[in-house]
C-alpha cells in the first residue's frame, strides 16, 4: 500500500512538472535568435560602409537574443551582380537580404518565387516614407519584390583647380567651349577626361554616352531602336572622347582606374554619382573644395536634362518561416526609416528614395541636390533603361569602336541585337 502511494505521488509530481517543462521549452523556442545574412556591397571603401555598419550594430543591440543581422561583405560590385544572377538562376537566394540595380534585366527576377513580395508587407505608414514614383518604377505586374532605396543623378564633375590653371574659370556652357577647354588641358599635359571601356558596363563612359544620347534624342530616346541617328552620333562623340580627350589606357580600363586618374589629378573631368562625393580619398585631394558638377553642354536640341537612376533596390528571400520573414521586415523598416537614411546620407553623400529632412552642408554633396532641382527633367542612363545584357554588349564593343575596328553604325547595330524589340 505504501509503495502504491509513493508511486501515485511521483506520477502526480511528474504531471505537475510536465506543463512547466513544456512551457520552458516553448519560451526557449520563442527566444531563439534569428540570424539574417545580408550580402552587402556597402562595405570597404564604399562611402556608405561606416554608417551601414553602425546601423547594423545598433539594430543588433536593440534586438539582442531575438534578431541578429550578419553582413557578408561584397566589395567587388561586378562580381556581386554576377553572384546574384547565378544564384537566382540556380534556384537559390544569394542571401536573406541583398540589393540589385533595378533595370529591365533585374526586373525579370520578379518572376522568381525566391523573392519576398513586399506588397502585403508595406503598411501605409511605411509606404508613406518612400518616394511614390520610385515605388511605382519598382512595381512589376503588381508585384513589389524590391524596395527602392538608393537613387542617383549622374552628372559631370569638373576639377576647377585644373581648369583655372589653363585659364578656364567656369564650367563649359557650349560644346565648343567644352572642346576648347579640353584642348587647353591637353596642351598643359592634363588628360581632359576619365574614360573607360572595361568592367561589365564601361561605367564612366556609359554615363557620358547617355548624356550625349539624351541630348540628341530626348528623354525617351531609349524607346528608339539603337540604330537611330541619335545613338550613332552619340557613339561618334564617345569615340572622340576616348581617342582624343582621355588617358592612353582608357581602352580596357576599369572603374577603379578611371576614378583613380581623377583622384590623382591626372584627369580634370569625371562622371559619377553622389555616393562618390563621400569618399575619404576624394576629400583628401587638394582640389576637393574646387569640384563643381553639372550636366554636359547640350550636343543636340534637348538641354537641361539630368541623367538619373534607381541605383540600389533592397530584396529579401521569401521564407516559409513566418518569424524569419517578420524579422526581415523589422530590419528593413529600421534600415529604411528616415532617421537611418539621414545618417547614411550625411556620411556618404548618397541620395535615397526615402523622404528625410536631411540637407547636406558639405558643398559638393549639396551641389547634387541643387543640380537635381535645377534640371528641367530627368532621363535614365543606358544601363537603367536597357538592362545589364545590353550594357555588357555596349562595353564589349566600345573598345572595338575606340580602336577603329568597327564604325559607329556597326557598333550601334551590334548593341541593337541584344535589345528585345
**DSSP for 116-168?**
PPGGGT--HHHHTTB-HHHHHHT-BTTB--SEEEEEEE--EEEEHHHHHHTT-
By the 8 A CB rule, do 335 and 262 touch?
A: no
Is residue 400 domain-shared with residue 263, that is, in the same domain? yes
Establish if 5 belongs to a structural domain: no
Q: Enter the C-alpha cell of residue 412.
A: 550601334
Is residue 103 domain-shared with residue 228, that is, in the same domain? no
Q: pLDDT at position 9, please?
A: 47
Q: pLDDT at position 35, please?
A: 98
By the 8 A CB rule, do 190 and 266 touch?
A: yes
Q: How many domains is the chain built from?
A: 2
Domain that holds residue 410: 156-308+369-416
Q: Enter the C-alpha cell of residue 189.
A: 599635359
Q: Could you list the mean pLDDT of each consecutive 10-residue stretch along the chain, which spans 421 residues?
A: 46 45 46 94 94 98 98 94 93 97 94 95 95 93 97 97 98 95 98 97 98 96 97 98 98 97 98 92 97 94 94 96 97 97 92 91 91 92 96 98 98 95 68
Is residue 220 domain-shared with residue 234, that is, in the same domain? yes
Is residue 323 domain-shared with residue 346, that is, in the same domain? yes
By the 8 A CB rule, do 411 and 402 touch?
A: no
Q: pLDDT at position 16, please?
A: 45
Is residue 383 domain-shared with residue 272, that is, in the same domain? yes
Establish if 103 belongs to a structural domain: yes
Residues in Cβ contact with 186 at an 8 Å cutoff, skipping those fewer than 6 apart: 192, 245
Q: Which residue has the cell 512547466?
A: 20
Is residue 127 domain-shared with residue 248, that is, in the same domain? no
Q: pLDDT at position 30, please?
A: 55
By the 8 A CB rule, do 209 and 382 touch?
A: yes
Residues in Cβ contact with 280 at an 8 Å cutoff, skipping those fewer than 6 apart: 47
Establish if 12 belongs to a structural domain: no
Establish if 102 belongs to a structural domain: yes
Q: pLDDT at position 31, please?
A: 65
Is residue 88 domain-shared with residue 237, that is, in the same domain? no
Looking only at the bridges linking them, the beta strands covering 267-271 and 191-193 are parallel
Q: Using CA atoms, how far apart are residues 224 and 394, in angstroms rounded to an integer?
A: 16
Establish if 115 belongs to a structural domain: yes
* Phi, psi dihedrals of residue 257, rounded to the nearest 5°: -70, -40
Q: Using CA atoms, how far apart are residues 161 and 231, in angstroms rounded to an integer?
A: 33
Complete DSSP assignment for 148-162: EEEEEE--EEEEHHH
Q: Using CA atoms, how far apart are residues 379 and 309, in angstroms rounded to an integer?
A: 8
Is residue 374 domain-shared with residue 275, that is, in the same domain? yes
Of 352, 378, 408, which closes a domain?
Answer: 352
Establish if 15 belongs to a structural domain: no
Q: Enter the C-alpha cell of residue 207.
A: 554615363
Is residue 331 domain-shared with residue 280, that is, in the same domain? no
Residues in Cβ contact with 14 at an 8 Å cutoff, skipping those fewer than 6 apart: none
Is residue 70 domain-shared with residue 169, that is, in the same domain? no
Establish if 341 belongs to a structural domain: yes
Q: pLDDT at position 403, please?
A: 98
H and E: helices and strands count for the chain:
18, 11
By the 8 A CB rule, do 399 and 389 touch?
A: no
Is residue 139 domain-shared with residue 71, that is, in the same domain? yes
Q: pLDDT at position 361, please?
A: 83
Q: Enter the C-alpha cell of residue 240.
A: 572622340
CATH value at residue 325: 3.40.190.10
Is residue 335 domain-shared with residue 316, that is, in the same domain? yes
Q: pLDDT at position 2, please?
A: 41
Establish if 360 belongs to a structural domain: no
Amino acid at each position: 500500500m505504501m509503495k502504491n502511494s509513493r508511486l501515485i505521488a511521483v506520477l502526480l509530481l511528474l504531471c505537475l512538472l510536465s506543463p512547466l517543462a513544456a512551457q520552458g521549452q516553448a519560451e526557449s523556442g520563442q527566444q531563439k535568435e534569428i540570424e539574417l545574412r545580408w550580402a552587402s556591397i556597402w562595405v570597404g571603401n564604399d562611402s556608405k560602409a561606416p554608417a551601414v555598419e553602425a546601423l547594423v550594430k545598433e539594430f543588433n543591440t536593440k534586438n539582442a537574443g531575438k534578431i541578429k543581422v550578419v553582413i557578408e561583405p561584397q566589395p567587388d560590385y561586378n562580381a556581386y551582380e554576377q553572384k546574384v544572377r547565378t544564384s537566382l538562376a540556380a534556384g537559390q537566394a544569394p542571401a536573406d537580404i541583398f540589393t540589385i540595380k533595378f533595370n529591365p534585366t533585374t526586373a525579370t527576377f520578379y518572376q522568381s518565387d525566391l523573392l519576398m513580395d513586399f506588397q502585403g508587407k508595406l503598411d501605409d505608414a511605411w509606404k508613406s516614407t518612400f518616394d511614390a514614383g520610385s515605388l511605382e518604377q519598382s512595381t512589376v505586374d503588381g508585384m513589389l519584390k524590391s524596395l527602392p532605396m538608393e537613387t542617383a543623378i549622374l552628372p559631370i564633375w569638373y576639377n576647377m583647380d585644373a581648369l583655372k590653371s589653363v585659364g578656364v574659370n567656369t564650367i563649359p556652357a557650349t560644346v565648343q567651349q567644352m572642346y576648347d577647354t579640353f584642348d587647353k588641358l591637353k596642351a598643359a599635359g592634363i588628360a581632359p577626361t576619365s574614360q573607360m571601356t572595361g568592367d561589365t558596363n564601361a561605367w564612366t563612359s556609359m554615363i557620358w554616352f547617355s548624356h550625349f544620347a539624351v541630348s540628341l534624342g530626348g528623354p525617351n530616346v531609349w524607346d528608339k531602336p539603337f540604330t537611330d541617328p541619335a545613338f550613332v552620333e552619340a557613339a561618334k562623340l564617345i569615340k572622340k572622347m576616348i581617342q582624343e580627350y582621355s588617358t592612353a589606357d582608357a581602352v580596357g580600363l576599369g572603374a577603379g582606374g578611371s576614378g583613380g586618374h581623377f583622384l590623382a589629378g591626372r584627369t580634370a573631368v569625371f562622371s559619377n554619382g553622389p555616393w562618390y562625393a563621400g569618399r575619404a580619398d576624394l576629400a583628401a585631394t587638394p582640389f576637393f573644395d574646387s569640384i563643381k558638377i553639372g550636366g554636359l553642354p547640350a550636343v543636340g536640341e534637348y538641354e537641361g536634362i539630368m541623367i538619373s537612376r534607381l541605383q540600389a533596390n533592397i530584396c529579401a528571400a521569401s521564407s516559409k518561416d513566418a518569424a524569419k520573414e517578420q524579422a526581415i521586415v523589422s530590419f528593413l523598416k529600421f534600415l529604411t526609416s528616415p532617421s537611418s537614411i539621414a545618417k547614411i546620407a550625411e556620411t556618404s553623400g548618397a541620395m535615397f528614395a526615402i523622404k528625410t529632412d536631411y540637407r547636406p552642408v558639405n558643398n559638393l554633396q549639396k551641389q547634387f541636390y541643387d543640380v537635381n532641382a535645377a534640371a528641367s527633367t530627368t532621363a535614365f542612363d543606358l544601363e537603367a533603361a536597357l538592362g545589364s545584357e545590353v550594357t555588357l554588349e555596349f562595353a564589349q564593343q566600345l573598345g572595338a569602336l575606340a580602336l577603329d575596328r568597327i564604325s559607329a553604325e556597326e557598333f550601334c547595330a551590334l548593341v541593337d541585337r541584344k535589345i528585345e524589340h
